[in-house]
Chains A and B, each alone.
Chain A
């Protein structure tokens, strides 16, 4: 009965800051298949927004490039890979420090990685100068309701099977 729930999606868009809202809303719609709480969904949206903003304003520095998101749902866990082909991060440890920013003139707070790390269960950053940056994040969605099975859309095969019984 309790089969592993798996799904995957890929999203690619231009590095325009007007796409930040599109990215987090698309990921939230995908994540909602796991029935997250409102708070969990807000956490995911915020973390996505931070990573995508980093790619756009630091990775590409407002030049044009593509930002890519790969999303995976495995059981009750969401895994997100957000990557760009921008200029890369020189020192990841320094970049992750709270309040560190290379762009204080843009009123950037330097809290992006801190927020990602506290809103998600796991955050990994890989970066190569002039090649790009990839942020991989994971969050477990707590199961609390028994209605989960019913709220999932049934596939065509399952429907036919159920009708034949």
Chain B
């Protein structure tokens, strides 16, 4: 995962560079939570541009981070969803809860 923090906007962009399944989700979760605690961002954007595969583990991952960021008083958005990632998020109703951010890939 690549992380980039924009101080002036208190924006943390977390770019997932991996396939997302139960196995990799555990690692991504640990890394993301570490970065979120470290920067205490006002907004977190998960960038899916480099995600070549995702199963339902991705739903749990994003929903879990959404709750975590909310507790800390921040907002969470997702960006650059591929067709297959969008399909899974839509099926779960996640996109009714989490906005899609505009982020150059």
Chain A positions 93 through 111: 1 when the CB is less than 8 Å from some CB of chain B, otherwise 0:
0000000000000111101
Cβ of B2 within 8 Å of any chain A Cβ, yes or no, is no
- Inside 8 A of A24's CB, which chain B residues have their CB? 53
Q: Which of B40-70 contact A (CB under 8 A)?
A: 53-57, 59-61, 63-64
- Interface size of B in residues (CB-CB distance below 8 Å): 21
Q: Which of B79-104 contact A (CB under 8 A)?
A: 83-84, 88, 91-92
Cβ of B29 within 8 Å of any chain A Cβ, yes or no, is yes
Cβ of A17 within 8 Å of any chain B Cβ, yes or no, is yes
Cβ of A76 within 8 Å of any chain B Cβ, yes or no, is no
Q: Name the residue among B19, B22, B29, B91 with the largest chain A CB count within 10 angstroms.
A: B22
Main SS of the interface on chain A? Answer: helix
Select from chain A the residue with minimum beta-carbon distance to B53: A45
List residues of chain B with CB under 8 Å of any chain A CB.
19, 21-23, 25, 29, 53-57, 59-61, 63-64, 83-84, 88, 91-92
